[in-house]
Amino acid sequence: MSRIVVLTGAGISAESGLGTFRDAGGVWTQVRLEDVATPEAFARDPAMVRAFYDARRDAARRAAPNAAHRALAALEAAGRDLLIITQNVDDLHERAGSRNLLHLHGELAKALCAGCGARWAWGEGPMTDDSACPECGEPGGVRPDVVWFGETPYGLDAAYAALGACETFVSIGTSGAVYPAGGFVREARAAGARTLELNLEPSEVSRLFHETRLGPASDLVPAWAAEILGV
């Protein structure tokens, strides 16, 4: 059975109402990434950074999976050997039913203690300076469990192992602007995989794919999944 690795980015959640980063009107056109997405920004102004992610967490909770998330979950449910490596910090893949999933850039629904490194599910409500870590008991260091610039992404060993053994690599809704994920297509090609990009527009790494299909993920992903299922 074909081993498939799917890399997803913000574009797959765009039609669920969650903003992308680098498109017109995207997150990084509204706020400087240096102000919210680095450990230095958190050290400078933890309240502002927490508030930014509290709002993102609320938006993600209100959003629902779309046809693209559901089509990937359906492939897994149909028994296909498929790993999703998502750069997204929302939980729309899980809520669509995907289980074989790796969150490279962390999860909005989790907290991380900047002091002791503990990670835990974050319930309702904002993170504050008074929030205490359940492991070390220290307040003040509770932050969203997301990977900021300069930090090491999660699950890289598993990601590279899967890329080195895959037969098909599909990249969905990502600009390829952020590394190491932007280099995954090279890893897959080195392993001999067929590589396919599904995106609204050509990405920064389109030239590296065997094939690029342009259009909204909610059209392209169900169509590709139907091809895989032979329906």
Please identify which residue in 85, 147, 159, 166 interacts with ligand BJW, judged by CB under 6 A. Answer: 147
Please identify which residue in 4, 5, 9, 193 interacts with ligand BJW, judged by CB under 6 A. Answer: 9
User: Would you call 214 helix, strand, or coil by DSSP?
Assistant: strand
Terminus-to-terminus CA distance in the chain, angstroms?
17
Please identify which residue in 150, 157, 230, 231 interacts with ligand BJW, judged by CB under 6 A. Answer: 150
Q: Is 156 in the site for ligand BJW (CB under 6 A)?
A: yes
Q: Is 65 in the site for ligand BJW (CB under 6 A)?
A: no
Are 85 and 162 in contact by the 8 Å Cβ rule? The answer is: yes
Binding part of the chain for ligand BJW, among 76-84, 92-100, 120-128, 173-181 by CB under 6 A, reads 173-181
Q: Which member of 69, 93, 103, 105 is catalytic?
A: 105
* Minimum CB distance to ligand BJW smaller for 130 or for 227: 227
Known catalytic residue at 103: no
Q: What does the angle CA 205 – CA 72 – CA 214 come to, to the nearest 5 degrees? A: 40
Residue among 152, 222, 159 nearest 188 (CA): 159
Beta strands across the sheet bearing 211-214:
101-103, 81-86, 3-8, 168-172, 194-199, 211-214
In angstroms, what is the minimal distance from the CB of 81 to ligand BJW?
Answer: 24
Alpha carbon distance 172, 217 (integer Å): 7
Alpha carbon distance 183, 105 (integer Å): 15
Q: Which residue has tokens 């299922």?
A: 229
For the chain, the residue count is 231
Provide the angle, in degrees to the nearest 10, between the axes of the packed helices 217-229 and 67-77.
20
Q: Is 200 in the site for ligand BJW (CB under 6 A)?
A: yes
Binding part of the chain for ligand BJW, among 74-82, 142-150, 158-166, 223-231 by CB under 6 A, reads 142-150
In angstroms, what is the minimal distance from the CB of 79 to ligand BJW?
Answer: 26
Please identify which residue in 123, 125, 179, 230 interacts with ligand BJW, judged by CB under 6 A. Answer: 179
- List residues with catalytic annotation: 105
Residues that bind ligand BJW (CB under 6 A): 9-11, 14-15, 20-23, 26, 37, 87, 89, 105, 146-153, 156, 173-175, 177-180, 199-201, 203, 216-217
